[in-house]
Structure 1
Amino acid sequence: MTNWRAVVIGFLVELVLGLIGFAIPVLGHAAAGLLGGFVAGYLAGGGLGRGAWHGLLAGALGGILLGVVVLVGGTIVGGIAAGPIGLLGGVGVGVVAILVALMMAVPSAITGALGGAVA
């Protein structure tokens, strides 16, 4: 059973550290995903598999929300700037952003497994 409290807290850790991560662009954002996944896995406990699942969910939740923001923003800006072609371009960028964000959830799952093993 999924511990949504652990997932949401892990996501919030990723969100807060991601915002702070703008000071150190690449390293800060990578650390945010890793620490958020670890926190989610640690709070969920139960071993490697359970920790990995909760870390993956925390990372994917943040990635999907970010991708949706890029999708909506890119579609609106593209549609205003270049009409129908820009609208399609914005949708394409948004879909790619969501796919990349989902792939970035894998490191959160790995550190979630570590957090679950430590707990």
Structure 2
Amino acid sequence: MTNWRAVIIGFLVATVLGIVGLAAPGIGQLGAGLIGGFVAGYLAGGGLGSGFWHGLLAGALGGILGGLLVALVVALAGWGFGPAGGIMGGFAGFGIFAMAVVISLVMALESALAGALGGVLNTGTPDRPPRQY
């Protein structure tokens, strides 16, 4: 079962660190994805698979939401060119969103790997279940 609280916290950590990481392009974004995925996996706990899943969701959420915003802007900008522009803008916006989803899932693999590490570190023991935050 997905712990959406852990996913959203991991997403917010990655987003804030990503904004701060703009000072060091590439490295800052990579670090933000790794730390956000780790936080999501650790908060969710439950081992390798659970941490991987929660890190993947936290990492992909940012790309999907960003792609949706860009697609909406492109689609709405097309209406400035009349009905034909609106249709073309809608198709372009859909294409941009589809590509953003694919790219965000590929880029979320780093967050998923860090989330798997976080999930392993918060597995708990038979007499003590994983910590749930």
TM-score (norm 2): 0.79
Equivalent residue number for residue 3 of structure 2: 3
In the alignment, structure 2 segments of 5+ residues that lack a partner are 123-133
Equivalent residue number for residue 42 of structure 1: 42
Does the 8 Å contact 1:79/1:90 carry over to 2? no
Larger Rg: 2
Q: Which amino acid aligns with 1:6?
A: A
Does the 8 Å contact 1:70/1:97 carry over to 2? no
Question: What is the RMSD of the two structures over their aligned residues, measured on CA atoms?
Answer: 1.8
In the alignment, structure 1 segments of 5+ residues that lack a partner are none
CA 1:77–1:27: 2 relative to 1, 3 Å: farther
Equivalent residue number for residue 103 of structure 1: 106
Equivalent residue number for residue 115 of structure 1: 118
Select the structure that is richer in helix.
Answer: 1
Deviations 1:23-81 (A, max 9, x none): 11211111111110000001111111111111111112222111111111222234436
Shift of 1:98: 2.1
TM-score (norm 1): 0.87
Q: Which amino acid aligns with 1:8?
A: I
CA 1:79–1:88: 2 relative to 1, 3 Å: farther
Distance 2:78 2:108 in 1: 27
Does the 8 Å contact 1:45/1:115 carry over to 2? yes
Distance 1:105 1:3 in 2: 17
Counterparts of residues 6-17 of structure 1 (less than 5 Å): 6-17=6-17
Equivalent residue number for residue 20 of structure 1: 20
Identity %: 58
